[in-house]
């Protein structure tokens, strides 16, 4: 992996500086290729090949289809601001400009959403395509376009597609991007025309990675092979409503909820993860005398199979793990396949700001990608009118018209994932060419899909769908063969050849989210904003709001299901219609808040409402509120101190590295009497540590290593193999053993999950697990056997001592014996990788396309959420993918930054030119008014009809 060679060029680099930077990068590429002399790439990838894909950013171009001239003004970071006299011209130019910078990324995305990756990358992607075709995102997107979207939205989508296609016209693939030149060595792929459906489909990918609790649903079911209901409940504690407040705390939800509160009614919400309904994922009677501590089951608790028997559990574990493997193998869209997705956003009323008007901050946490998933731009009608109503700037996705997050001339808004449960897995009783519903056999809805494979033979698959959704279990041969038994109660139908698994998901129904994007972009006030949000059906997001009049607000949009039975926390019996969805919460019944008395609103994936005061169950799996509480505390500290909050205060809050779990654990760790001199030396790092996770902190490195080892010893080694890291092997009691521990009966089991998806991941759910167990120092969870020279532990403090020893010698191996050289950033590094050829391409391609590493501050569940998975290691898994602070008193004084840069072209000056500043926590000026944009413009391109 090459070092980061793209240095920051300052807030506004001069033209000569940009030319020198570009020339230097071209020279580097030529030198690299020259070094590998005999390889064909050297002669093919000349300087002219590299330059061919760079966009024209000056002068004049003719764009067929425009009704008038359009100005594209780029600043020193290549960020475009587009000015047009009609909405159609505006979005046509947006399509052209995004294609200039990011078409390869756009092309890969549409092939992913339509299940056609094999057309670009060959047989390695066939399995992914099979699964994506089964979901049928592009089919749903076409239904949306044909039946749901407004005429104006269709016109804008058509105009956008026209701009993309105008860029493609007359260009060979190798002239569009380096990646196409590389693909040219192995196949003859040529990009096709862009369509409106290609744009809409990307919303499905966004919804997929923000889909809610589906992985928790799988994990809880997988845990039953080794853990009983009580142990699973230990690992999924109740949300701490009294400590980590929900988003809405002052009862201003809506008339429905106020009436509900007044009635004193109970929610009827069910528990989290220990349901014993007919899905059978909780097995009833707990066995006696379980496996030895640290070998798969907490001592004395017994395995979870109870009277159902080990064979049933094994089949279900295999079936669900097969589903996880399929999910885990999918390309990352905008997150880490649904796990660890978070975000921060908050808004402060002008009552508490130095400007006297609101300040709004947002930083969505997504997996790191190169280029960044976000694309910054401004879209401006020269004269704002009913015919051309847009004057908006912010972040969008390459491939989609409009702006997703940002501000217009009147309002600003941000988004975080709400986490509401919009997916359910259903076990299906298969019978011949159909499935069982209420004791009757119903035929599948079936269709054939043909997958074209670059350099290979096409493959045809059959997609079967039940009333609950597509049959995901058809997409794995393992799922079909091992699903011959499933763990269910006595009321379930005969197993026959086994149960299938179907997915019910709101995004598989046609919706209107694309309408919502355009409506939000032109909203003028909170009423407009809420009306627009009603159209934002998937994914369900927390939307925060502020306007130039001084108002702040929040609304929860989305198509959120109601259930007659079950709470969506475990797979449900598809053969029983009592477990069907009964409808959706009406938009007017969804929670919202406007100008709350406290003067601020914080959303950071915590609970939206307290279930005691809201009539519907939104989910059983909220984030646990660690970040939201810290942000709230930072705001309240400023208010209580009599100070006023500035734009820079908001930025500093985004960079807060405080570790909540360190605040809980460090006092306990410092009380441990350590005999080993080397370990005691490391322990002393924690004395006086401020418990912040700066990149240069040795104490943060040691603490996080201790935390990782505590998790491994207390929980990780006791989880089933399906949740542990692939290749990590343990000797354990066989699943289903209900007798006393017996060393002679142990079997060797190796983990099966990728490192960035394994458990325990160390997120704030695990913080809450520890908080609830800390006062029980003799819990079975603290027991772990000896390993080599490491001592056994029989209680909490002994396990902590063992973890401190293990962490000391782990860091000695990784960072060296001298603790003065240790730092968190040496462990906690960010690598930016091109998500296709930069991941799986030849080494020289990875060298050309990838960047990094960067040493990062921050950590898991910190506000500065540079996330890492404690089960798999310390490397950065997800990041604040962008940061913004909007100043509603003077929009030109707003600030923003992107993870990478505007360009998707390797060796463009704007490939990663924002990353160094992003790493340091700096923000760029965000020009909005015409005068401010002109002052910051470096290049102007005029598009003419």
Q: Are 72 and 58 in contact (CB under 8 A)?
A: no
Using the predicted structure, report yes or no on whether residue 257 has a pLDDT greater than 70: no
pLDDT averaged over the chain? Answer: 85
**pLDDT of the residue at 333:** 53
Using the predicted structure, report yes or no on whether residue 812 has a pLDDT greater than 80: yes
Whole-angstrom distance, CA of residue 899 vs CA of residue 919: 8
pLDDT, mean of residues 360-382: 95
pLDDT, mean of residues 145-163: 98
Rounded to 5°, the CA angle 371-373-377 comes to 90
Whole-angstrom distance, CA of residue 890 vs CA of residue 930: 13
Comparison of pLDDT for 476 and 919, the residue scoring more: 919
Whole-angstrom distance, CA of residue 53 vs CA of residue 47: 11
Return the structure tokens found at 823. 């730092």
3-class state of residue 72 by DSSP: strand
pLDDT, mean of residues 788-796: 92
**pLDDT of the residue at 255:** 54
Using the predicted structure, report yes or no on whether residue 524 has a pLDDT greater than 70: yes
**Residue 409 neighbours by CB under 8 Å, 6+ apart:** 384, 391, 548, 891
**pLDDT of the residue at 572:** 87
Of 118-132, 186-200, 378-392, the range with the highest mean pLDDT is 378-392
**pLDDT of the residue at 3:** 33
Of 35-44, 595-604, 615-624, 844-853, the range with the highest mean pLDDT is 595-604
Per-residue confidence at 703, pLDDT binned at 50, 70, 90? very high
Question: What number of residues does the chain have?
Answer: 945
CA distances from 904 to 18, 101, 103, 207 (A): 17, 6, 8, 23
- What Rg value do the Cα atoms of the chain yield, rounded? 28
Measure the CA dihedral 719/722/728/730, to 10°.
50
Per-residue confidence at 310, pLDDT binned at 50, 70, 90? very low
Per-residue confidence at 432, pLDDT binned at 50, 70, 90? confident
Of 474-483, 509-518, 614-623, the range with the highest mean pLDDT is 509-518
pTM attached to this predicted model: 0.89
Return the structure tokens found at 69. 């001239």
**Residue 440 neighbours by CB under 8 Å, 6+ apart:** none
Using the predicted structure, report yes or no on whether residue 263 has a pLDDT greater than 50: yes
**pLDDT of the residue at 308:** 28
Per-residue confidence at 249, pLDDT binned at 50, 70, 90? confident
Comparison of pLDDT for 612 and 891, the residue scoring more: 891
Using the predicted structure, report yes or no on whether residue 75 has a pLDDT greater than 50: yes
**pLDDT of the residue at 256:** 55
**pLDDT of the residue at 134:** 94
**pLDDT of the residue at 422:** 92
Max CA separation in the chain (angstroms): 82
To the nearest whole percent, how much of the chain has pLDDT over 90?
Answer: 67
**Residue 912 neighbours by CB under 8 Å, 6+ apart:** 4, 6, 370, 832, 851, 900, 901
- φ and ψ at residue 377, rounded to 5 degrees: -170, 165
Q: Cα 570 from chain centroid?
A: 22
Q: Tens of pLDDT along 569-601? A: 878 899 999 999 999 999 999 999 999 999 999
Per-residue confidence at 269, pLDDT binned at 50, 70, 90? very low
Per-residue confidence at 305, pLDDT binned at 50, 70, 90? very low
**pLDDT of the residue at 497:** 52
**pLDDT of the residue at 53:** 83
Q: Tens of pLDDT along 316-326? A: 555 566 666 66
């Amino acid at each position: 992996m090459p070092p980061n060679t793209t240095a920051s060029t300052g807030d506004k680099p001069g033209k000569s500086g940009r030319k020198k930077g570009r020339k230097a990068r071209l020279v580097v590429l030529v030198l690299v290729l020259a070094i590998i002399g005999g390889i064909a790439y050297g002669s093919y990838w000349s300087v002219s090949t590299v330059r061919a894909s760079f966009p024209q950013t000056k002068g004049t171009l003719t764009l067929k289809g425009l009704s008038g001239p359009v100005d594209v003004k780029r600043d020193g970071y290549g960020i475009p601001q587009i000015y047009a006299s009609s909405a159609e011209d505006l979005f046509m130019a947006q399509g052209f400009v995004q294609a200039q910078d990011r078409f390869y990324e756009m092309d890969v995305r549409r092939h992913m959403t339509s299940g056609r990756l094999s057309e670009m990358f060959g047989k390695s992607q066939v399995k992914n395509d099979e699964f994506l075709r089964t979901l049928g995102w592009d089919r749903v997107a076409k239904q949306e376009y044909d039946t749901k979207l407004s005429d104006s939205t269709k016109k804008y989508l058509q105009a956008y597609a026209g701009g993309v296609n105008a860029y493609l016209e007359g260009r060979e693939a190798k002239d569009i991007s380096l990646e196409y030149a590389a693909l040219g060595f192995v196949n003859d792929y040529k990009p096709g025309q862009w369509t409106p459906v290609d744009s809409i489909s990307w919303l499905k990918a966004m919804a997929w990675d923000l889909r809610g609790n589906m992985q928790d649903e799988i994990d809880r079911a997988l845990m039953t092979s080794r853990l009983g209901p009580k142990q699973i409940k230990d690992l999924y504690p109740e949300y701490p409503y009294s400590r980590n407040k929900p988003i809405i705390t002052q009862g201003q939800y809506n008339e429905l909820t106020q009436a509900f509160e007044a009635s004193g009614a109970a929610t009827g919400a069910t528990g989290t993860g220990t349901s014993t309904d007919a899905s059978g994922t909780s097995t009833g009677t707990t066995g006696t005398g379980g496996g030895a501590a640290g070998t798969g089951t907490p001592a004395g608790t017994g395995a979870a199979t109870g009277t159902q028997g080990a064979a049933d559990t094994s089949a279900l574990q295999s079936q669900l793990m097969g589903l996880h493997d399929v999910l885990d193998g999918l390309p990352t869209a905008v997150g880490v396949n649904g796990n660890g997705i978070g975000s921060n956003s908050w808004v402060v009323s002008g009552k508490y700001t130095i400007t006297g008007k609101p300040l709004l901050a947002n930083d969505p946490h997504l997996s790191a990608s190169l280029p960044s998933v976000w694309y910054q731009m401004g879209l401006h009608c020269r004269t704002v009118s009913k015919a051309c109503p847009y004057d908006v700037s912010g972040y969008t996705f390459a491939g989609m018209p409009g702006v997703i997050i940002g501000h217009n001339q009147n309002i600003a808004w941000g988004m975080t994932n709400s986490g509401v449960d919009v997916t359910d897995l259903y076990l299906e009783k298969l019978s011949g060419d159909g499935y069982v519903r209420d004791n009757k056999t119903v035929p599948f809805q079936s269709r054939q899909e043909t997958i074209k494979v670059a350099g290979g033979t096409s493959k045809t698959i059959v997609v079967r769908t039940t009333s609950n959704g597509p049959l995901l279990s058809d997409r794995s041969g393992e799922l079909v063969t091992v699903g011959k038994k499933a763990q269910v109660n006595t009321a379930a139908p005969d197993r026959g050849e086994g149960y299938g698994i179907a997915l019910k998901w709101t995004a598989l129904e046609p919706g209107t989210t694309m309408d919502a994007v355009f409506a939000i972009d032109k909203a003028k006030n909170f009423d407009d904003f809420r009306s627009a949000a009603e159209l934002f059906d998937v994914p369900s997001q927390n939307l925060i709001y502020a306007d130039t009049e001084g108002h702040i607000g929040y609304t929860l949009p989305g198509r959120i299901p109601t259930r007659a039975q079950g709470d969506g926390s475990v797979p449900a019996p598809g053969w029983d219609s009592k477990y069907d969805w009964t409808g959706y919460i009406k938009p007017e019944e969804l929670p919202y808040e406007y100008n709350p008395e406290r003067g601020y609103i914080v959303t950071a994936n915590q609970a939206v409402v307290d279930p005691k005061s809201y009539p519907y169950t939104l989910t059983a799996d909220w984030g646990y509120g660690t970040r939201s509480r810290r942000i709230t505390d930072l705001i309240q500290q400023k208010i209580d101190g009599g100070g006023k909050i500035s734009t820079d205060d908001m930025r500093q809050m985004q960079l807060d590295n405080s570790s909540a779990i360190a605040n809980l654990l460090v006092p306990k760790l410092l009380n441990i009497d350590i005999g080993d001199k080397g370990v005691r030396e490391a322990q002393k790092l924690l004395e006086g540590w401020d418990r912040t996770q700066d990149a240069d902190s040795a104490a943060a490195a040691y603490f996080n290593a201790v935390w990782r080892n505590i998790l491994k010893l207390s929980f990780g080694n006791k989880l089933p193999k399906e949740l542990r890291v692939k290749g990590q092997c343990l000797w354990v009691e066989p699943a289903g053993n209900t007798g006393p521990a017996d060393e002679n009966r142990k079997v060797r089991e190796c983990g099966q999950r990728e490192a960035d998806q394994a458990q325990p991941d160390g997120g704030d759910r695990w913080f809450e697990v520890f908080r609830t167990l800390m006062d029980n120092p003799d819990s079975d969870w603290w027991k772990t056997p000896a390993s080599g020279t490491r001592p056994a532990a029989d209680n909490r403090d002994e396990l902590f001592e063992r973890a401190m020893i293990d962490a000391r010698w782990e860091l000695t191996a990784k960072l060296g014996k001298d603790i003065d050289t240790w730092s968190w950033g040496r462990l906690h590094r960010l690598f930016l990788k091109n998500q296709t050829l930069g991941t799986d391409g030849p080494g020289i391609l990875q060298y050309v396309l990838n960047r990094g590493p960067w040493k990062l501050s921050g950590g898991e569940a910190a506000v500065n959420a540079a996330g890492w998975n404690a089960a798999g290691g310390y490397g950065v898994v997800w990041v604040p993918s962008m940061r913004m602070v909007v100043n509603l008193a003077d929009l030109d004084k707003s600030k923003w930054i992107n993870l990478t840069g505007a360009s998707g072209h390797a060796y463009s000056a704007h490939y990663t030119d924002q990353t160094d500043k992003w790493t340091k926590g700096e923000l760029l000026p965000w020009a909005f008014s015409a005068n401010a944009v002109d002052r910051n413009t470096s290049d102007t391109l005029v598009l003419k009809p």
